[in-house]
């Protein structure tokens, strides 16, 4: 395919991927409005969890189906499922319905992520691939930036075209999805070399049994208690699922959902371990930074997306540069080394310089450094994974790399949020005991200008209620309030966040060590569909 043809196909693929990525972040800023409207604030976590679980679990299944039936029909099915899920979610009448339809959306989204990157591998040789996959990362970065802004804005409308504003968060996927469907149908014609393989239904069932309980406990463990009966049941079910999955995959051989023989390839296996660690360390930083901006700097959830711009710019700069260098030199392993090193430095910078009264530009520098680290790593893991396997396994390799990174990310979010929230109340109480903090609060509460200002009403109420208002579930009472009154909350939150950055840094340091043991396989100069056709020809 010519460069122009590739770009046209990429536009269709990226619009599909934009939908899936946007839907991960768009709901967060609007969730309170949605939950109020559907009368189920206590169930709000399930709407997010349902999407995450189904999109993660279906990723490897799509990869294998794409290898068997060809990418195009499976990708079109994924877009269609996603559109149907979006429309039904947009008309949900209860939180239970919302969670169920979000799960349906997630089933489509799992294919949009992994298949888009697999199709790029089909049509572009590995050496050129980093350049094109960088565009996908730019889409991913911009969608995580725009998500909260779009979600918050739409949720702000009581009604838009006779429908409640928040419903458009899901209904807007209809026109974008339709454009994506049209472009894929019209322009995406990837030659497919058919393979006679059985569909590994037992493997699919086992991977669901392995991942769903573990993702559930990762998301809900803080609520349930990590050592509660329910959590222990999830650990047991997940372990049984993992053992069953390995035994089934061994038996299925080539037809397996994730053929175990590809893990005999050391470059592939070590890259997956590194991807899991990067996912864990990456999401730790990405989830804590928006919270810091909201709690410590009193920025509204809607505007927080814009405040994350330095990190996205760092990511995009590093991605484009790494893609160009890889294309020109054929070398990629260096970015595993430099990426983990730069990401580690970004986290250590935060540990060194972040405190409750530091100005936002100091945090922005740390964000740029973290972004520069992430941008080198995300696409390099993908290119290395795809390049390490035979063309016939490219779908499995792509979906495995996405799957392990997502599992690492989910685990990272669970671990880091637990660390943060287990400390924050105690740290706030400690901050209240500092003489200079108490002196500031007393001076502020005796100032008529402060007590009569409506912006301070929320925090004054929280202080009268005992001091450590539940800043972890709702920090809106800090927005616009007097700095002397918010100081103990900001100190408590910042000190808890430092622990998270430190642990994330340690995890990335482990990744840095592993990165030196990944053998660089020379990048091939033929696309996967070209190689598959040649291999099939030799087979005949």
User: Cα dist. 476→391, 457, 462 in Å?
Assistant: 52, 11, 11
Longest alpha-carbon distance in the chain = 88
Confidence (pLDDT) at 508: 93
Q: Is the distance from CB of 108 to CB of 80 less than 8 angstroms? A: yes
| Model confidence pLDDT, tens digit, residues 105-124 | 989 988 888 888 888 888 88
| Model confidence pLDDT, tens digit, residues 9-23 | 888 888 888 877 787
- The tally of CA atoms less than 13 A away on the side-chain side of residue 139 is 24
Residue 386 has pLDDT above 90, yes or no: no
- Cβ–Cβ contacts within 10 Å for residue 536, how many? 14
Residue 513 binned pLDDT confidence (cut-offs 50, 70, 90) = very high
SS3 39: coil
List the one residue out of 114, 1, 116 whose CA is nearest residue 61.
114
List the one residue out of 53, 165, 34 whose CA is nearest residue 94.
34
Residue 337 has pLDDT above 90, yes or no: yes
Could you give the percent of the chain with pLDDT greater than 70?
90
Confidence (pLDDT) at 540: 46
Confidence (pLDDT) at 466: 55
Q: Is the distance from CB of 318 to CB of 343 less than 8 angstroms? A: no
Confidence (pLDDT) at 295: 79
Q: Return the exposure string of 340-363: e unless at least 16 CB atoms fall within 10 Å of the residue's CB, then b.
A: bbbbbbbbbbbbeebebeeeeeeb
Confidence (pLDDT) at 440: 79
Residues written for the chain: 540
For residues 428 and 468, what is the distance between their CA atoms, to the nearest angstrom? 6
Q: Return the exposure string of 56-66: e unless at least 16 CB atoms fall within 10 Å of the residue's CB, then b.
A: bbbbbbbbbbb
Token readout for 493 is 């939150």
| Sign of the Cα pseudo-torsion (368, 370, 371, 377, in order) | positive
Confidence (pLDDT) at 471: 58
φ, ψ (nearest 5 deg) of residue 452: -90, -10
For residues 54 and 428, what is the distance between their CA atoms, to the nearest angstrom? 37
For residues 289 and 284, what is the distance between their CA atoms, to the nearest angstrom? 9
Residue 155 binned pLDDT confidence (cut-offs 50, 70, 90) = confident
Report the first-to-last Cα separation within the chain, whole angstroms. 25
Alpha-helix residue ranges (DSSP H) falling in 157-228: 168-171, 173-187, 201-224
Q: What is the DSSP string of 462-491?
A: HHHTTS---TTT--GGGTT--HHHHHHHHH
Confidence (pLDDT) at 465: 60
Residues forming CATH 1.20.1250.20 domain(s) in the chain: 1-190
For residues 221 and 305, what is the distance between their CA atoms, to the nearest angstrom? 27
From the options 3.40.50.1100, 1.20.1250.20, 3.40.640.10, 1.10.1040.10, give the CATH code of 1-190.
Answer: 1.20.1250.20
For 127-135, what is the mean pLDDT?
Answer: 74
For 506-518, what is the mean pLDDT?
Answer: 93
Residue 434: its H or E element: none
Residue 406 has pLDDT above 90, yes or no: no
- The tally of CA atoms less than 13 A away on the side-chain side of residue 7 is 3
Give Cβ neighbours of residue 473 (< 8 Å, ≥ 6 apart): none
Q: What is the mean pLDDT of the chain?
A: 82
Residue 188 has pLDDT above 50, yes or no: yes
For residues 219 and 222, what is the distance between their CA atoms, to the nearest angstrom? 8
DSSP 8-state class, residue 228: S
For the entire predicted model, the pTM comes to: 0.83
Q: Is the distance from CB of 66 to CB of 74 less than 8 angstroms? A: yes
User: Cα dist. 414→78, 214, 340, 500, 515 in Å?
Assistant: 28, 11, 21, 12, 25
């Amino acid at each position: 395919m010519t460069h122009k043809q590739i770009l046209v196909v990429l536009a269709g693929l990226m619009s599909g991927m934009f939908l899936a990525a946007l839907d991960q972040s768009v709901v967060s800023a609007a969730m309170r409005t949605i939950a109020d409207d559907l009368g189920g604030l206590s169930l709000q976590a399930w709407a997010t969890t349902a999407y995450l679980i189904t999109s993660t679990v279906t990723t490897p299944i799509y990869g294998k189906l794409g290898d068997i039936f060809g990418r195009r029909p499976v990708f079109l099915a994924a877009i269609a499922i996603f559109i149907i899920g979006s429309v039904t979610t947009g008309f949900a009448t209860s939180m239970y319905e919302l969670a169920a339809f979000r799960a349906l959306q997630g089933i489509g989204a799992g294919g949009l992520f992994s298949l888009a990157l697999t199709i790029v591998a089909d049509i572009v040789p590995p050496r050129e691939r980093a350049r094109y996959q960088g565009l996908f990362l730019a889409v991913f970065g911009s969608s995580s930036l725009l998500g909260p802004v779009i979600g918050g804005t739409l949720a702000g409308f009581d009604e838009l075209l006779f429908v409640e504003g928040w419903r458009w968060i899901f209904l807007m996927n209809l026109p974008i999805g339709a454009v994506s469907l049209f472009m894929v149908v019209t322009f995406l014609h990837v030659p497919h070399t058919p393979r006679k393989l059985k569909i590994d239904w037992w493997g699919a069932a086992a991977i669901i049994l392995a991942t769903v309980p573990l993702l559930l406990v990762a998301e809900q463990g803080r609520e349930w208690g990590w050592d509660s009966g329910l959590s222990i049941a999830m650990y047991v079910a997940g372990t049984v699922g993992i053992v069953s999955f390995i035994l089934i995959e061994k038996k299925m051989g080539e037809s397996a959902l994730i053929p175990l023989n590809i893990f005999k390839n050391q470059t592939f296996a070590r890259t997956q371990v590194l991807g899991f660690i990067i996912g864990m360390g990456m999401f730790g930083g990405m989830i804590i930074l928006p919270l810091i901006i909201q709690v410590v700097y009193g920025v509204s959830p809607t505007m927080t997306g814009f405040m994350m711009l330095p990190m996205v710019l760092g990511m995009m700069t590093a991605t484009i540069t790494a893609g160009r260098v890889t294309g020109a030199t054929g070398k990629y392993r260096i970015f595993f080394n430099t990426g983990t090193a730069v990401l580690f430095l970004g986290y250590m910078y935060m540990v060194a310089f972040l405190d409750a009264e530091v100005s936002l530009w100091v945090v922005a520098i740390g964000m740029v450094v973290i972004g520069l680290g992430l941008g080198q790593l995300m696409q390099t893991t993908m290119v290395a994974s795809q390049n390490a396997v035979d063309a016939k396994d490219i779908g499995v390799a792509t979906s495995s790399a996405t799957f392990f990174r997502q599992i690492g990310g989910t685990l990272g979010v669970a671990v880091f949020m637990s660390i943060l929230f287990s400390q924050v109340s105690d740290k706030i109480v400690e901050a209240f005991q500092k003489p200079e903090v108490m002196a500031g609060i007393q001076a502020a509460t005796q100032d008529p200008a402060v007590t009569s200002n409506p912006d301070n009403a929320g925090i004054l109420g929280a202080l009268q209620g005992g001091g450590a208002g539940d800043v972890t579930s709702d920090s809106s009472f800090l927005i616009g309030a007097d700095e002397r009154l918010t100081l103990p909350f900001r100190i408590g939150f910042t000190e808890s966040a430092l622990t998270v950055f430190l642990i994330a840094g340690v995890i990335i340091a482990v990744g840095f060590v592993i990165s030196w043991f990944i053998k660089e396989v020379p990048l091939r100069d033929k696309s996967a569909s070209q190689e598959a056709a040649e291999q099939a020809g030799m087979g005949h």
